[in-house]
Each structure stands twice: as structure tokens, then as C-alpha cells.
Chain A
Amino acid sequence: MDISTKNPEEAPPPTPEPFAAAQQRTARGATRPGDRIFLGLSRGSGILLLVIMAAIAVFLTYRASLAISKDHANFLTTFEWNTNLLPPKFGIAVLAFGTVVSSIIAMVIAVPIAVAIALFTTHYAPRKLRGPVSYVIDLLAAVPSIVYGLWGALILVPHMVGLFGWLNDFFGWTGIFSWDEGAPRSMLTVGILLAIMILPIITNVSREVFRQAPQMIEEAALALGATRWEVIRMAVIPFGRSGVISASMLGLGRALGETMAVATVLSPDFIIHASLLNPGGGTFAQNIASKFSEATPDGRDALIASGLVLFVITLLVNGAARLIIARRAEYSGANA
């Protein structure tokens, strides 16, 4: 749990707000009752927010420590989740593996496509198409995750059979893409579904970044006879790189914590499979959702401990993303 204490250092420095600072004196000097009440109310809700966060963190850590002290196996390396055994044995190895693998698959698929769509809306699409395309992408973002889950389980899974057979035929020898013809409720399907779900957020942030790329440089490059691709490669992508990275991190944060879409599609077990195509594995969030109702109080603590690990991981990822955004804001500010 020493990881969590490191996090404050990861915090992006809040951007200075000139007017807030300038008005600080007047705020301090305020003696009118109206001002005091209003300040009290707004500060109170800020503090309330902190209290809630602190309560969640303290409570999760406390519960997790209870669970880990009762664990008769190594919490980090054990390949099973039997909290109802006497003594209980559980570990997060499979969950951590599954969470990371499904998110990596999602990123590998989503990031290039998202960047391409962002470029499409800023540089390629006919002007008339740009608005509708952005709208379509926002539409993807608005679909609730349970609907993705339903669609994934009933439509995507049956449609993956052909693709899986194909991957097995051509790449089965690698071991990663070997397939025993089970229903395709596997990590790869989960990864593809997650990719569709995180596509909008990466696209939207990247689009904003690309839109800000300095027009002058692009025009200069075009005037020198560069093709559109060369302009993008030399002027737009270098400018937007850090923005794309932070956008991807935000998407990764979402993929790591996704629950229902994984729970409906995946056929879970507690084994690390070399093949991405064979059903099995699990993720933190999916495991909590499917095991929670039947868990005894101790088992519940164990799930909370796994939730804490997920919490810390998403925290690190989101923190890193914010840090990159904050850095970028500084240097682009100098440019503009």
C-alpha cells in the first residue's frame, strides 16, 4: 500500500489562476455576512468532497489490510480466488494479467484508429462531413456500457468466430492466436469491445490537439510542395504527440475500470492462458461484479483489496495523463 502514498507527487500542478489570486485579498477582507456564508458554503462543499475521498481511501485500505492479513496465500502471485475456503486463499495474479492484457489489446486497436479519425475530421474529411463525423463519435461515447455489453455478448461474440478461425489458421503457431474452437468469449473479444468503447474519448482529445496545430507551418510546408501526408507527418503529429499520449492514457484509465461490458462477454476462470483466443481469464472490475453478491464478509474484504489495487493503477495512469497534459499546456502556451 506504499504505492498510494507516492501519488501526491504525481499530481499535476494546478494551473495558476490570476484572478483568483488577485481577489484573494478582497475575499479575506470580506466581513459581510453574505460573503461569509457563501464562502463557508462553497468551502464546505470542497471540504466535503475531500472527506468523501478520504473516507473511500481510508476505508478501502483498512478493509484491504484486513483481507490480506487473512490470506493464506501470496496476494500478488496466487492463481486462485477461493475466499470461502478455510483458510481462504486468493491472489490477484490472474486479474492483474487479464486487466492489463485486455487494456493493451484495446489500446493497440483503438489508438491508431482514433488518431486516424481525429486526422480525418481535422485534415481529410470533406468540410460537410466534419460535423456529422464528430457527432457520430460523440454518439459512441453516449452509449451506456451495459448496452455495449449486451451488444458484445449477443452480436460481437458470434461474429468473432470466423475471425478467430482465420487467426488460428494463419497465426495459430505463435501460441498467442491458437484457438480450441470455444465460444469466442475471450480476452481478444473483450479487448476489441473495450477498444470500441474508449475510441471516442481518445478521438475527441486528439482532435482538439490536432486542431490547434499551427496553421502557418502547415501552409508553409504545403507551399514548399509537401504532400498532405508529409504535412501531417512533419507538422501536425509532432505537435500533437504529447496530446495523443495523454488522450490514450485517459482511454486506458477507462478501459482498466470497465465492468459490465467485460462481465457480460468474458467467460471467466482463474488461469492465465497463453492464447488470447481461448475463453478464460478475468479482470479486477469483472471479478468484483461477479463475485460480490456471493462473497462472505471476509470474501468481500478480499474483493475490496483487489478493488484497491485497481484504484491505485487507474490513479497512476490518470495522474500520468494529467501530468502530460499540464506540461503540454505550458509549452503550447509559449507557442501561441
Chain B
Amino acid sequence: MKLQRMNRRALTLGALAVSGALALTACGSDDNGGTATGTSSSSANASSIKCDNAKGQLLADGSSAQKNAIDAWVKAFSQACGVQINYKGGGSGAGVTSFNQGQLAFAGSDSALKPEEVTASKQVCSGGQGIDLPMVGGPIALGYNVPGVDNLVLDAPTLAKIFDSKITKWNDAAIKKLNPSATLPDLKIQAFHRSDESGTTDNFTKYLIATTPDNWKYSGGKAWQGKGGQSAAGSAGVAAGVKQTSGAIGYFELSYVGDGVKAVSINTGAAAPVAPSTESATKDIAAAQVVGTGSDLTLKLDYKTKAEGAYPITLVTYEIVCDKGNKAATLPATKAFLTYIASEDGQKLLSTIDYAPIPDAIITKVRSTIAGLS
């Protein structure tokens, strides 16, 4: 009150800024569905989505592997229900951490909760704990950017050596042996890995450990352990890095392949090398088994598959919620969204955007678990 002169100006400025912002709030719009050229057939789905008085806004974070799937689901869901779902693909590690701090309605993760993470989640879920709901399956593609080379074939030991900087040139004898007809350039290999903690890294290295323990002598986990190479944050970062670097190879979801980046076919020991695709991944995921206990539906994947046309490097990414004790404010919206994405329509959407749906036997369990969330 006593600060008239001095603060008058500052106050005027502040008031200007605030009132300007308030004035601006009148003229903006969230509605840009019309311009989006997404792949989702959202209008067809909209009718089947049950909103169940879902409202408000949901915060979610986690796996960047399922970011593209969530984007497509969110587009359909928010057009039908008007709920805003803010999913930030900050990585599985970030998702689980923020979830356990009570900041999120649900988290996305490519790796199931570890025992100590489950313990931590009990503080957030009053009377319950965090559970893993498998929702999106998908192949982890090995994207490469080597001029003049199409249909590259690699196997597990070669991959392990490439990502551990033991094979450093594209015209290495080991690669030549797998690709007798290709003209491999004398180019250094730039192996890209994730700099953040990632479930994609976890699943990829689990595959290497399961199939070729002699060549990949690390313990595995969300943090990258191999030697050398370059790093980037998020699947998007790795994909961008591969796209911009000649001679690069990296691992990310199939939906990031394209636009100059091609995917490696894997020689699994089956008659023909298997290319990553929705079908070949579905074949592998079909063999997965539920190992979670109670309402937790953690899956165990078969990395060593030699079945014809089954792509071995797959991941299943989970949504993590509380089985009991979800926050009352966000529960209806969370439940409605999860119900939608586990529904037949939601799962059908996946195969159009390079993800693999969860097998029927498992997704029905997921649906009944979601129905029981409280």
C-alpha cells in the first residue's frame, strides 16, 4: 500500500500481463481434430466408447514405446468423452518414479514393476498396490540407415557384437556371411542406444542375454550397459539419430521405422529370416505366459523362439495403476480410458499403427481386472 510510485509501474506491467493472458484465454482452442491426418478411424470408434461420467484431465507419463499408440487412443477417446489425457513419453523409468510419487493417474512401462517398486507403490495406493496391465505389444525393430543396403539380415550374436563395439564396420565378415548378396559399404557402424532408462533397452538386452549369453555378458536392466556407440533420449531421439546419421543402427518401436530408416530382419534359426511386423510379433506374443500374481498380469515373453515367422525381439508394454486406492478425482476417467483401450475396438486400432494387440486369452483377464479397479 505504501509502495505507490515504485510499484505502480511494476503492478501495471504485471496487471497488463495477467489481463492480457486472461484476454487471450478467450480466443484459443484445443480443437484441432479436423486438421489432424492421423491414421486412426476415430469417428467409427467414437460411438462404442463408454464415458461413464469421466471428466477432467489425466496426467500420465512413461514408456515412449507406447507413445504412438497412446496418441492414437487419446485422439479417439477425448473426441468421444472430452477428457484430456496428457501422456508424456518420458521413458519407463520416469513413469514409474512419478507414479510412485503420486503425481500420475497411470503410468506406462515396458518392464513390469520390480518388487521394491511395488512396495513403494503401496504408499500411493491406499489399501492396494500398483499392478501391471499388459496393453500394447510390439516388435522392437532394429532400424538402420546404410546407403544402398536393403533387406539386411542379422542374428543375435552379430547384433550383440555390433552393439558392444566388437564389430565396427558394415563390411565385416560376420555381416557379409548373413547377407551374401548385399553390397556392404566400407562404413563405420554407429550403434545408437538409449541414454535414459528404458523398457525398450531392458527388453532388447533380455533378448540378447537369452539368446547369446556368450556375446552379451551384462546383467541387463533399463540402463544401457554395452560398450561404445552413441546415445539419445527416448525412442524418438534414437530414431531421429539413426535417420540423420549414415551408417547408423538403433533399436526402437516399429512405428518409428520409415522415412529413410529400414528394419533389420532377424535370423532366428527358422527357415527364413523374420522381419518385424505386427503379425510376426503377435505370433511371438501369443506364446507369452502370465507370471504376475493376483490382479497383476505381468507377462513372460519367449525370446528364444524359432517358430516360423515369429519375431523374437518383442516387448509388451504395461499400464500401471493401483488395484485399489486410486485417487477418487481421476478414477472414473482412468477406468473409462483403460476400458476403452482394452476393448476390442481399442486393440483393433493397434495393428493399423504398427503395434501388436494382446492375445485374447490375456486381454479378457485385463478387462475383468479393469472392471474391478477402485
Contact = CB atoms under 8 A, between A and B. Distances in A.
Interface of A: 34, 37-38, 41, 82, 84-86, 158, 180-183, 185, 267-269, 279-280, 290-291, 293-297
14 contacts: A37-B2, A84-B93, A84-B222, A181-B247, A183-B245, A267-B195, A268-B195, A280-B230, A293-B98, A294-B94, A294-B97, A294-B196, A296-B100, A297-B101
A41 B2 contact: yes
B2 A291 contact: no
Given A37-B2, A293-B98, A185 B90 contact: no
A180 B231 contact: no
B188 A180 contact: yes
Contacts, number: 67
B230 A296 contact: no
A294 B93 contact: yes
A82 B225 CA distance: 10
A156 to B, nearest CB: 13
B178 interface: no
Contact of A293 (B91, B116, B223): B91
A269 B165 CA distance: 14
B167 interface: no
Contacts of B3: 41
Contacts of B190: 181-183
Contacts of B98: 293
Interface of B: 2-3, 61, 90-94, 97-98, 100-101, 116, 120, 168, 188, 190, 195-197, 221-223, 230-233, 241, 244-245, 247-248
B1 to A, nearest CB: 9
A87 to B, nearest CB: 12
Contacts of A34: 2
B335 to A, nearest CB: 26
Q: Which are the 5 A-B pairs with shortest beta-carbon distances?
A: A294-B93, A293-B94, A294-B94, A267-B230, A183-B245
B230 A183 contact: yes
A278 B91 CA distance: 26
A295 B244 contact: no
A106 B26 CA distance: 46
A82 B222 CA distance: 10
A38 B2 contact: yes
Given A185-B230, A279-B231, 11 more contacts: A84-B93, A158-B244, A182-B188, A183-B248, A267-B195, A267-B232, A293-B61, A294-B92, A294-B97, A296-B97, A296-B100
A182 B93 contact: no
